[in-house]
Structure 1
Amino acid sequence: MSGVIEALAVSFGRDANEKLVDLVRGAKTRDVFAPVTVIVPSNYVAVTLRRDLASGDYGTTSWVGTGLVATDFVTSYRLAETLSGEQFLAQGRRPIRDVVIGTVMRQVLAEEPGIFRPIVHHAATERELVRVYRELRDLTDDELGLLAASSDRSAEVVRVCTAAQRKLKDRWFDEFDLFGSREVNTDRLSELGKLILFIPQQLANHEISFLSQLSEISPIDALIGLTGVEDADSSSQRAVHRFGTSLSLPEVKAPAVGKVVSVSDPDDEVRTVVRSVVGLLDQGMMASQIAILYPHKFPYRRLLEEYLNTSGVSFNGLSSRSIANSMLGRFIATLLAIPDSDLRVDEVLEFLASSQLLRHR
């Protein structure tokens, strides 16, 4: 790629945010209203970054001081939609959704189920084919051919996904169509101002080509997050290589384990971790700077939730209580399972006895 992408290696966390603030401040040296567009991995990152930078905790974003003005945070998909989406809408094509892909998958399988005949009506078949369809959309025709030649099963998957794409392409478009478009609205691109790519994560091939194409029109500064661990940094290094550039700073040092604690069981593990968290909070560390990682959902998620709540520590994370575990969830699951037991009297009576039914008069 011959675009102008200046890559800068940063550590994840505070270092990355501070470098981003420096770039934003540099773009607003003369005019605080100079537009800046930060390309982020997800909408969640966009919300978090906006709050962090506006708080002033990572430095001033302009010569005026803290706060944000004329600074936008978008994903690469939204950026592509802004710059190239109008041409697809003018053709009468609409943004695609998974439900549309699933519908077309059912049509393809109904016409020629192939090896999927025994499971053609199973919901998981459609769900997995939709997922694989999304993955295969990033491959070229030659790559699809190589994949199809690898095995009979791969050939069938490629056949179904290719047939679905033929049915969809005239009426619908997705992010890969946007990334692959060669027509970019240069007027809108100029309105976006300085472009900054923030900590890209596992960029698709079409996405890399799209960003490289943009960089030929408007230079892009890329903040590449590195951990110092080769396996963890492989996707970032691959993106830098595809951009045809090199990192302007040496790789960061790999994080080192500061302390290892040996305990008897998961319950003791969680108690030890929660005590450490409370200790860090008592020392003045911000809760947003603490993260707890665990290897398995069971039993750690439930234990962490219980002990953190007992300790009065507010936290953000996935709940151990799902809708399926609620009273209503158990009621629906049991009700749907009754036909599988041939409506045996004991099963029906047990269901009625365990359910809280309300009688309306």
Structure 2
Amino acid sequence: MGADASPERGAGPRIMSVRPGRDTIAALRDAITVAQASDRFAPVTLVTATIDVGRELQLAIAEVSSYINVSYARLSELATRILGVEATAGPLGMTAELSAVRAALARTAMKNVRGDAFHETRHHRSLHLALLGLFREFRSREADPDDVLASGAAGATARAASQVYSEFRAITGQHSDAISLARDAVAALESPSRAMLDAIARLGTVILVGPTKLDRADADLLASLSRLAPVLVILPRLDDPRGRAETRANRIASTLTDATTGAYPAGALARGDSHVGQASTGGDQASREPVSTTLVLRSDLQIIRAPDPAEEVRQAVRRLLAVVGTGVPLHRAAIVYRQRDPYQRLVAEVLDQAG
């Protein structure tokens, strides 16, 4: 990666676009090496969307190098790490973020809204899941349901969903969620306390790895944090002929750019806005080759006879590995089955055995 690609305090988040897998591990290894070049014990915090991704990165990095003082955190935990004892989570604490608790609160919100369009279906679990998905989108966009209610084009279902969401927010307003904590951290970073500065020093260089989505609140937090600590964002670069993955990565980069512009007064960036203006590439030479935009559809069909489902799955996994061995990216290959039992369990077991 080199010194030029290393993040700097006060320069805005540094953005890289790297292929998943070995290239990402190599970019991480280089970034950690640069961060600890002058101090072997300098802290580095790897931030991921989920615990599972963080655990896999920890194992992968341990296989290629040994580092000291490298910690891991989920993106949703970053604000809490910064705020420390100043974080307030409300009476329920962060349990209000648990899906079962949110579902119960959504049911309560529907009961409190009289005469809504969901009166006859309010007990259906599929409705609860659909509403929770809508509520997450509302919250991540920090949208105002009154805008929907004020729209003359909104139908009865949209208006009912907005009313239920307004009641849901009224119920959950006393409890913190990831968005509100991120906003609290952004506000606190305007004039950080000594305890917050100590917490940021313990974070050290912050590296966000492989985000597939970035809420504006999280982008604002990363931008504000970059004024006090080096921040590097490694975006996944996939060989997607239709360009959807590239569009998603560009959207994240654009969100970070807008957030950084808002976090830094005019002319306040240490080295201009080159860090956030365009994602750079990392990894080996192969990762910098242009991606073909031509979609090739293959229609070769093979019929395999097997004596039992277990052998069926083994044959399917062999075919999958053979296809991947020809250079087809793994995310463009799939094993499809018509019924869950017993194939879901068998496919998982055989794939685990295949490594």
Fold in common (TM above 0.5): yes
1:132 aligned partner: 134
**Residues 102 and 130 of structure 1 are in contact (CA less than 8 Å); yes or no, is this contact kept in structure 2?**
yes
Unmatched tracts of structure 1, length 5 or more: 57-65, 284-288, 317-361
Q: How does 1:80-159 map to 2 (within 5 A)?
A: 80-84=79-83, 86-89=85-88, 94-95=93-94, 96=96, 97-113=98-114, 114-142=116-144, 145-146=147-148, 149=151, 150-159=154-163
Q: Which amino acid aligns with 2:35?
A: A
Paired amino acid for 1:14 = R
1:174 partnered with 2:214: no
Alpha carbons of structure 1 residues 70 and 210: separation in structure 2 relative to 1, 3 Å: same
Higher relative contact order (CA 8 A, sep 6+): 2
State the AA in 2 paired with 1:168: T
Shift of residue 209 of structure 1? 1.9
Match of 2:247 among 234, 255, 261: 234
Against the structure 1 CA distance between its residues 41 and 105, is the aligned structure 2 distance closer, same or farther, given a 3 Å change threshold? closer
Greater mean alpha carbon deviation, residues 253-262 or residues 43-52: 253-262
Which amino acid is 1:231 matched to?
Answer: R
Cα 1:165–1:122, aligned 2, differ >3 Å: closer, same or farther? Answer: same
Residue in 1 that maps onto 2:63 = 55
Counterparts of 2:165 and 2:216, CA distance in 1: 18
Whether the 8 Å contact between 1:274 and 1:308 is mirrored in structure 2 is no
TM-score (norm 1): 0.70
Question: Quick one: which amino acid aligns to residue 263 of structure 1?
Answer: L
Distance 1:274 1:259 in 2: 21
How many residue pairs match? The answer is: 299
In our comparison, the structure showing a higher alpha carbon Rg is 1
Specify the alignment match of 2:300 in structure 1: 262
TM-superposed deviation, 1:44:
0.8
2:334 is matched with: 294
CA distance in 1, matches of 2:236, 2:74: 17
Mapped partners of 2:232, 2:132: distance in 1: 34
Q: Measure how far apart 1:195 and its partner are.
A: 1.1
On the 8 A contact 2:13/2:230 being kept in 1, the answer is: yes
Q: Is the 8 A contact 1:226 1:252 kept in 2?
A: no
**C-alpha distance in 1, partners of 2:15/2:119?**
49
8 Å Cα contact 1:179/1:206 also seen in 2? yes
Structure 2 CA distance for partners of 1:147 and 1:53, relative to 1, 3 Å: farther
Q: Give distance in 2, aligned partners of 1:37 and 1:209.
A: 18
Distance 2:348 2:163 in 1: 50
Cα offset for 1:100? 2.9
Which of residues 197, 217, 233 is equivalent to 1:186? Answer: 197
Percent same amino acid among aligned pairs?
Answer: 18
Q: Is the 8 A contact 2:145 2:163 kept in 1?
A: no
CA–CA separation in structure 2 for the residues paired with 1:48 and 1:8: 20
Tell me how far 1:200 sits from its aligned partner: 1.4
How far, CA to CA, are the matches of 1:27 and 1:163 in structure 2?
47
- Structure 1 residue 46 displacement after superposition: 0.6
Tell me, yes or no, if the aligned pair for 2:49 and 2:76 is still in contact at 8 Å.
no
How many Å separate the matches in 2 of 1:147 and 1:69? 53
Partner of 1:164: 168
Q: TM-score, normalised by structure 2?
A: 0.71
The Cα shift of 1:84 comes to 2.7
3-state SS in 2 of match to 1:127 = helix
Deviation track 1:248-301 (CA, whole Å, cap 9, x = no partner) reads 3496533789995722447699676544567799x9xxxxx9789326342699
After superposition, give the CA deviation of every residue in 1:37-94 in whole Å (9 maximum; x if it has no partner). Answer: 11112111111111111111xxxxxxxxx31320012111111122236334386562
